[in-house]
């Protein structure tokens, strides 16, 4: 048994324990108020399209991810999770993002759903 095997076993054990204790299964669930919800493939695609749309608009406005997060009053790591489709953005945060970009929420969601 090599070092890589031990590392892979530890990583798998961590995932199993995480799933057992929290119900979280990586890449199939999203976090919502400290609880994990199942996400269908269609929902994952919508989250990915929204994340891509947000990244595109942010870059077009000339913001770095960190600078944009600060301007919106959103945590930098949360902004990254939104863009990577790891979390479901709240309506309040959609409003903050749209306001900072100078667009409406409808324009922000254009082409997403």
pTM of the entire predicted model: 0.65
- The reported pLDDT for the residue numbered 18 is 52
- The reported pLDDT for the residue numbered 24 is 47
Spell 24-53 as b/e; 16+ CB within 10 A means b.
beeeebbeeeeebeebeeeeeebbeebbeb
Residues of the chain with pLDDT under 70: 1-41
CA atoms within 13 A on the CB side of 64: 5
Q: Which domains does the chain have, with CATH numbers?
A: 1-38 (no CATH), 41-113 (1.10.260.40)
């Amino acid at each position: 048994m090599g070092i890589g095997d031990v590392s892979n076993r530890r990583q798998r054990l961590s995932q199993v324990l995480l799933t057992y204790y929290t119900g979280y299964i990586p890449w199939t669930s999203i976090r919502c108020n400290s609880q994990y919800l199942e996400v269908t493939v269609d929902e994952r695609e919508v989250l990915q399209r929204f994340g891509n749309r947000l990244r595109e608009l942010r870059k077009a406005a000339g913001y770095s991810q960190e600078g944009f997060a600060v301007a919106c009053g959103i945590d930098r790591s949360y902004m990254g999770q939104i863009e990577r489709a790891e979390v479901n953005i709240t309506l309040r945060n959609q409003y903050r993002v749209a306001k900072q970009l100078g667009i409406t929420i409808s324009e922000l969601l254009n082409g997403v759903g």
